[in-house]
Amino acid sequence: MRTILLVCILLTLSVTCAADPEGYRRIESVAASVNGEVLFLSDVIREACFYRCGTVPGQAPQEMSLSRAREMLIADTLVLQEAKKLGLGAVDNEALASSTAEALSRTGKCTSPCAASLTETEVRELLSRRLLVRDFLERRIAIFIEVNDGEVRRETAQRSRAGLPPEELSEEKVRKSLSEEKAAAEIRNWFARSTSKSRIVLSPLPEP
């Protein structure tokens, strides 16, 4: 009888351990904490896979270390946290649907083994995140830059002295190039300020 009872107890424990209670999340390795928001190792691994597959439309596939993928994920998290503070966060559903369809197609063609673990929901969440980040950076950060005529003239003269072809000397081309450079610099400055004001805790990663 005692043996039977022991077997029953062990069976009960095995069933209890095998089935996760409602609302329970398995303990995962933590990769980072951004102002109290936890980023799990699985999030970072998934992010690296997205880059490896070139999941985001317009983004070429590229190998990415887990540490670099974590940096990119932290950057997105900082933007989303700031957008939330400002009450922003609406996504263009039409743009999201179009981008998601292309992203799923790109992921489906990915030859990396990691692609098999990516779900449609995860791809859609990625696209939603990237659209929100892009919209915030373009409309809240880079929108304030200006390129005056004097800057265009100086850049045009410099390009001419460097022997660049005529198509690189048009006012429209030069102004656009200067605008992009200024926007990139302004965005870098914003990230530097945001990072310095944030509490970011990093955990060791299983890098080779």
Place of tokens 């060791």: 204
Bridge partners of 200, per DSSP, are 34
Residue 169 burial class via C-beta count within 10 angstroms: exposed 0-12, middle 13-18, buried 19 and up: middle
| 55/117 same-domain check | yes
| 123/38 same-domain check | yes
| 47/132 same-domain check | yes
CATH for 38:
1.10.4030.10
- Is 14 among the domain residues? no
| 61/81 same-domain check | yes
Half-sphere exposure of 184 (CA within 13 A, CB side): 6
| Residues 126, 179: Cα–Cα separation, whole Å | 27
Considering its fold, how many domains does the chain have in total? 2
Predicted structure pTM score: 0.79
| 120/169 same-domain check | no
C-alpha distances out from residue 168 to 156, 174, 179, Å: 8, 7, 15
| 32/124 same-domain check | yes
Residue 159 clears pLDDT 80, i.e. is over it: yes
3-state secondary structure of 40: strand
Convert the pLDDT of each residue in 69-84 to its tens digit.
Answer: 999 999 999 999 999 9
Boundaries of domain holding 43: 27-136
- Is 100 among the domain residues? yes
Convert the pLDDT of each residue in 107-153 to its tens digit.
Answer: 999 999 999 999 999 999 999 999 999 999 999 999 888 999 999 99
